[in-house]
A and B are shown apart, each in its own frame.
Chain A
Amino acid sequence: MLNIDSIENGIVIDHITAGRGMRVYELLELHRLDTCVAIIRNARSSKFGRKDIIKIEGVMDVDLDVLGFIDDHATVCVIRDGKLLEKKRPQLPQRLVNIVSCKNPRCITSVEDVDQIFYLCDGEKHRYRCQYCEQLLSEEG
């Protein structure tokens, strides 16, 4: 059993679908932080069998839109003085702004320096379309 210290003040993103932890790490741009960040992959989960977990020391807020887009099953636990202060569940966002880029070479965003905007077109299947060209967002984003 691998042991990782619990955090005093910060955030634990729990119940991330196994395998998506690195994507959450990338899109939340956690590499930019100079505080302690731990990614635990394939942790045992009584609910899901396996899950990923990210622990971030010293940060009390996280972009729930980004998280909701990648994995709306995740749970955000805010920890203060070693105690659970708050639990948040991210929602699937209606709009994504500058989170992912359109891959359509015919889209104006391929040549013009504008915000990358996607809107939710199918909440059930978590599908987004580019606001400019309506191309469906690919799985890789």
Chain B
Amino acid sequence: MRHLIDPLDFTREETDRLLGLAETIMDKPSEYAHRCAGKILATLFFEPSTRTRLSFESAMLRLGGQVLGFSSAQSSSAAKGESVADTIRMISGYADIAAMRHFKEGAPFVAARYSRIPVVNAGDGGHQHPTQTLTDLFTIRRCRGKVGDLTIGLCGDLKFGRTVHSLIKSLVRYEGIRFVLISPEELRTPGYILKEVLGPSGHPFTEVRRMEEVMPELDVLYMTRVQRERFFNEEDYVRLKDSYILTPEKLRMGKADLAVLHPLPRVNEIDQQVDQDPRALYFQQARGGVFVRMALILSLLGLEPDILEKEGEPC
């Protein structure tokens, strides 16, 4: 039995096959409309989430399956002090697959160790969010034909942004990627990502402070939110925030086939006028997340047997 806890739980080959399946489903959704008939997905959301939970539920419903679950710790037995291990043991008897979001880092890893059904990490605190990473890769593949031979700009909060760290770890498995890390000094990519992930990978990377410096070079621009509370003082925030807001003026400096991605929710880091630009792909990205999760559910349930190897790394 396989789980998805860390974006690297799947090999690159498995990931590519999964993304290929997501594309097939996207092109012919009706052929998959009943593939999960009689199957139940449990959405165990110990922490509120709109997009991810609804995306998982939509995926299962579009496959003809059913969904049960809870959307906050208060409405679960965790409020009574039940452990994650006990919760997943119980859910293993009620559902065929589980998607778990938890405010504690590593909670889905614990769940996977005790579960009798496949567990998907739907976000654990500030740690991992592997289905977002798969969705990001899917969007890049869909718009550029493949993942590879690209200059990818990652912009905004590169220090605390979990989606950025997971994406970098996954992208280094592809050839020809050049990374451009765009952030204020205070929110630079953590040293361990540079030393343990990017450095050994051999992929070239540069760190810059301003988006305008590098805009014409980029094939993909991955935006993240710069949060006011991350700054030591208001002065720094006011001084820096405009460098990390994508406006139509900045976008004009970009290539004609640039792809602008964002894991959403967006606050003000992408001007709403940018939404009209065909290069703004973030809403397509969110929609694609449903197909990625459909492919994931089918694969983990063994209903598409050629996607994943039988055994991955043990949890």
Q: Which residues of A contact B (CB under 8 A)?
A: 104, 106-114, 121-122, 130-136
Q: Chain A residues near B110 (CB, 8 Å)? A: 108, 112, 114, 132
B107 within 8 A of A: yes
* New A-B pairs, 15, CB < 8 Å, besides A106-B104, A109-B106: A106-B103, A106-B127, A107-B106, A108-B102, A108-B104, A108-B106, A108-B109, A110-B104, A112-B85, A112-B104, A131-B109, A132-B105, A132-B110, A133-B105, A133-B125
Given known pairs A108-B102, A109-B106, the reply for A114 and B127 (CB within 8 Å) is: no
Complex: how many Å from CA A107 to CA B127?
Answer: 9
- Is there contact, CB below 8 Å, between B105 and A113? no
B84 within 8 A of A: yes
- One digit per residue, 1 when the CB lies within 8 angstroms of any chain A CB and 0 when it does not, for chain B 60-95 equals 000000000000000000000001110000000000
Which residue of chain A is the closest to B83 with respect to CB atoms? A112
Task: Name the distance in Å between A117's Cβ and chain B's nearest Cβ.
Answer: 10
Task: Name the distance in Å between B121's Cβ and chain A's nearest Cβ.
Answer: 12
- One digit per residue, 1 when the CB lies within 8 angstroms of any chain A CB and 0 when it does not, for chain B 99-124 equals 00011111101100100000000001
Task: Name the distance in Å between B112's Cβ and chain A's nearest Cβ.
Answer: 11
- Is there contact, CB below 8 Å, between A106 and B125? yes
Task: Name the distance in Å between B73's Cβ and chain A's nearest Cβ.
Answer: 11
- Is there contact, CB below 8 Å, between A136 and B192? yes
Task: Name the distance in Å between A32's Cβ and chain B's nearest Cβ.
Answer: 28
Partner of B105, one of A107, A114, A121, A136: A107
B126 within 8 A of A: yes
Complex: how many Å from CA A131 to CA B127?
Answer: 12
Q: Chain A residues near B27 (CB, 8 Å)? A: none
Q: Chain B residues near A136 (CB, 8 Å)? A: 192
Complex: how many Å from CA A122 to CA B109?
Answer: 22
Task: Name the distance in Å between B3's Cβ and chain A's nearest Cβ.
Answer: 14
Q: Chain B residues near A113 (CB, 8 Å)? A: 83
Q: Chain A residues near B127 (CB, 8 Å)? A: 106, 133-134
Q: Chain A residues near B103 (CB, 8 Å)? A: 106
Complex: how many Å from CA A90 to CA B153?
Answer: 45
Complex: how many Å from CA A106 to CA B110?
Answer: 14
Complex: how many Å from CA A113 to CA B113?
Answer: 13
